[in-house]
Structures are given as structure tokens and as C-alpha cells.
Amino acid sequence: MTANLDSIIAHYHSLFNAVLARETFTTLDAEQRARGMLVGPQRDRLICPVLRPRFITRAQYETLTRAASLVGRAIRAVSAAALTDPTLLAPYRLTPAERELLAIDPGYHGATVFGRLDGFLAPDGAWCWFIEANVESPAGIGYDDALAGIFDQTRIMAAFRETFQATALPVRQELQQMLLDAYRAWGGRGTPTVAIVDFPGVTTWSEFEHLQQRFEADGLPTVVCTPDDLQYQGGRLYVETRLADGGASWRPVDLVYRRLLQHEFLSMYDLHHPLIRAYADRVVCVVNPFRTKPAHTKLIMWLLSDDEGPASGILDADSAMAVARHIPWTRLVQRGTTRYRGERVDLLDFARRHRERLALKPNDAYGGERVILGWETSPLTWEGALERALDEPSVLQERVPMSEEPYPIWSDNEGIVLSSYYVDADPCLYGDRAMGCLTRIATAAKLNVSAGGGSAPPTFLVEPKLTQEPVNANP
């Protein structure tokens, strides 16, 4: 027995009536608010307001993870080469502080250990495209894990599982294991104390608290803190923790799960910060290391895509083929010529004439910030953006197909409302291996949750109930 994605989704929706839909919404709303899983400028919008998880078929999942593993391997190869190749590093226009960080050996190999690719996946698994590499400190793994648990509490999922197997993919478990593997590669022994470090007030703080709870339930001592809570003395990194009586104690840290972004850190602190000193002295393992910039910014997609660029010749045959199939045409914005589908073109002239098929992205921005979609932009605005892009590293990227799916929401006035959403597919990378799929959905072409422009339902691998063998979510 097989089932395509449309029939799986249609079956789930057919199980709803008004009572069950309202009950499902009430559960999702209460559980997310209780955990602080709210986003948007006012922190008042549910991360997942829709009443259905994202479903992915075995065919889709195999296409996604196979492609992502090879593209991830390509990213790791190019970014590792960039650590010592001035030609590869030059387009990034690194600051002196960034160069100093890049030169620090973190105690294990490579520029990045784990991350996430952002892309789109065909409903039948026939194709997938990756448009960005988020391999510095990607958000979403904890939220996906928490939301899968919330959906598992609902009667609608119990009813759905009478016909289909639905398996939450183990992204949080893989993150936890990856942190431990990096700690062992760094030279750590025993069970480390983990500090999840980011700035106070970030919208993802509730995700850190969920990960802390899950890590500690598995016997991994964990604290969530800010850079100002850290102190380096006597050859150890410590985190200040608050006591019930209002006092404080200093707890030694072995492993830092770095959620703060490097460029934001450097805008507030210098390289004498306790975290950097402990990292440089190799007394704490930091994951990901402070050398991810060649891997995670928009320029990596250009370095992979442009076979005439400075990274040409680095990739093995399988990785090069995967890049050609799964990364869209991407070019650094600069004066001069390039190739487009075998034709030699002047890049800026080509960009002006083909605005409707291109997106313009600043290299170091994230969360959809300052991304300009040519097909939604006037010619005059596009022209101005191209000129400004010459002054800061930016890329042009060809538009790719975007999948759409119906998702139900609950309205007190209208009852169940089905709306069409763009759906992305974001596999997680753990070393050279891809696992799981995070999801963002939105009614607009920019799919970003933290900035308030989308939602993040959990992802379940779905197969017919008649499958005799247990579901293996690790192809």
C-alpha cells in the first residue's frame, strides 16, 4: 500500500469536525503559551498556529537527506579550505577581529560541525533546491521537538495514526549526540556540563529552556545563560547561576552550545571576553566554533554554484553533481561577466533585465532581513538595491520553485479555515550526514518565523500503517 502526500493530507483534514478542531486549537494554544513559544515583534504569536503538522513521505525524505548530505559535504569542504586560502576568504571582507577568531583552533576539525540547509522540496520527492546554508547556530531544533510532543497529545493525531504511521524525526536527539561527539573529538572526557549561551531577550529563549530540560532528563547537566554570566579564572570557564535565596554560585562549564551569532557578539564585546579567552586557551569546547563565517553566510552558495569562481576544483565528483542539481545559480554581486546556462553575460546588465527571476541577498544578514525578491520589486527599487549591493558582499540568486500545501487554522468566527501556505524543507546537518527536516510555512514568499513572517509546524515522517517493518527514520 502506498499513499501520496495529497491523499495523506486530505485524510488528516477529513478527520476534523468543528468540535475536534476547536479542541486541537485549544491544546496547541495552551501548551505553546505555557512554554513561552511565542514569536513576532510583540511576542504574542504562536510559533505554530496551524492545526496540522508538516507531513513528509518516505520518497521525499530520501530525496531530501541524500541531497543534503552531499551538499553539506561540499559546504564543509569549501569552508575548511577557506580557513587557509586567502583567495577564498577575500570576498568576505573580514574584519581584523573576525580574522583573529578564524585563526583560533577550536580543538576539532573544520569550520562547522552542524547546521541546517534551507530549501524547497517537491511534493513527490522529484526535486529539491537549497537556497541558503544556516550553519552557524540554527534555531528550530528544540521547537520542533517540543511541538511534536504537543501534537502527540491531541486526539486528531491518535485518530490519524489508526491509518498511518507518523514518526517525529529525531533532530533533538541528534543535536545532543553531536554535541557530545564534538566534545569527545575536542578531547573531553566524562559527562560535560553544557552552557547554552545567547543574548538576553532573544525570541528563542524558550527553545533553550526546552533543550535544557531534555538534555538534563538524559543526564546531561545544562544551564542557559548570557555572555555576561560567564567568567574565566583559574583555567576554567564558569557560569553564574542564581540560587533560591537570591544569592549566586559559579558553576564550571565544559561545553558551550553557542547560539549567539558571531557578528552580533563582536558588535558588543572584544576578544578579551571570558568566552573567547577560554575558547582560545582550549579549556572549553565551543560548538559551533567561532570560525563558521566561510560556511554559513550567503557567499557559500556562490562559491559552490560558480564553477569559474575561487572554489572551483575543490569538490569531489559526487558533491559537484549534487551542487549542480540542488543549488540554484548564485553569483557574487560585482562588475564583470559570468556564465548563465552556458552563455557569457554581463552580470549587472543581466540582473537588470531579469529582475523577475532573481533574489538579492546581503551576505551577512539573516532572518530574511534586507532580502529583495525581484519578482515583488519595482525596477527603480531593484536598480538602487543593485548599486548598494556593490558596496557590501551580496549575492544574486535565481528563483526556484516553491511548494505549497493547505493547512487548517481555527477561527472563532469562521470555524475551520483551510489556507494555502508556501512550505520550505530544512534538513539538519550533523557532520556530513543529514537528518530530519525542520519546516517553515508562510503565505508570503519570505518564510521566516523569528521575524514574524511565518510559522513552524513540526515534521512527521508518514507511511501507511500496513508497513510490516518498524519505521526507520534514518535512511
b/e string for 428-445 if b means 16 or more Cβ within 10 A? bbbbebbbbbbbbbbeee
For residue 465, the model assigns a pLDDT of 86
Q: Specify the number of domains making up the chain.
A: 1
For residue 44, the model assigns a pLDDT of 83
- What's the whole-number mean pLDDT along residues 44-50? 93
Q: Decide if 368 is inside a domain.
A: no
- What's the whole-number mean pLDDT along residues 24-38? 96
For residue 122, give the nearest of 73, 183, 56, 77 by alpha carbon.
Answer: 56
Q: Decide if 134 is inside a domain.
A: yes
Provide the 8-state DSSP code for 30: H
CB 109 within 8 A of CB 295: no
Cα separation, 307 vs 340, whole angstroms: 11
End-to-end alpha-carbon separation of the chain, Å?
20
Provide the 8-state DSSP code for 191: P
Judge if pTM exceeds 0.85.
Answer: yes
In Å, how far from its chain's centre is CA 364?
15
Band (236; pLDDT cuts 50, 70, 90): very high
Q: pLDDT (tens digit, 9 = 90+) per residue, 84-129? A: 899 999 988 899 999 999 999 999 998 999 999 999 999 999 999 9
Q: Decide if 205 is inside a domain.
A: yes
Q: Decide if 366 is inside a domain.
A: no
For residue 255, the model assigns a pLDDT of 98
CB 256 within 8 A of CB 280: no
**244 or 255, higher pLDDT:** 255
Q: Decide if 157 is inside a domain.
A: yes
Cα separation, 315 vs 74, whole angstroms: 6
Q: Which runs of consecutive H residues, i.e. helices, occur in 359-429?
A: 379-389
For residue 217, the model assigns a pLDDT of 97
Q: pLDDT (tens digit, 9 = 90+) per residue, 158-191? A: 999 999 999 999 999 999 999 999 999 999 999 9
Q: With 70 as the cut, is the pLDDT of residue 452 above it?
A: no
Provide the 8-state DSSP code for 200: T
- And the C-alpha cell for 260? 549567539
Cα separation, 146 vs 214, whole angstroms: 10
Q: Quick one: what percent of the chain has pLDDT higher than 90?
A: 84
The single-letter code of the amino acid at 82 is A
Band (242; pLDDT cuts 50, 70, 90): confident
Q: Quick one: what percent of the chain has pLDDT higher than 70?
A: 95
For residue 74, the model assigns a pLDDT of 96
Q: With 60 as the cut, is the pLDDT of residue 469 above it?
A: no
If you write DSSP's letter for every residue of 354-411 in order, what string do you get? TGGGEEEEETT--TTTT-EEGGGS-HHHHHHHHHHHTTS-EEEEE----EEEEEEEEE
Grid cell 521547537 — which residue? 143
- What's the whole-number mean pLDDT along residues 27-44? 90
For residue 2, the model assigns a pLDDT of 62
Please tell me whether the peptide bond between 472 and the residue prior to it is cis, using omega within 30 degrees of 0: no
Q: Decide if 339 is inside a domain.
A: no
Q: pLDDT (tens digit, 9 = 90+) per residue, 363-409? A: 876 555 679 999 999 999 999 999 999 998 899 999 999 999 999 99
For residue 475, the model assigns a pLDDT of 45
Band (245; pLDDT cuts 50, 70, 90): confident
- What's the whole-number mean pLDDT along residues 326-335? 97
Average pLDDT, the chain: 92
Q: Decide if 310 is inside a domain.
A: no
Task: Print the domain residue range for 454.
Answer: 5-297+402-464
- Give, for 158, the enclosing helix (H) or strand (E): helix 155-160
Q: With 80 as the cut, is the pLDDT of residue 243 above it?
A: no
For residue 462, the model assigns a pLDDT of 98
Q: Decide if 353 is inside a domain.
A: no
Q: With 90 as the cut, is the pLDDT of residue 450 above it?
A: no
Q: pLDDT (tens digit, 9 = 90+) per residue, 414-435? A: 999 999 999 999 999 998 899 9
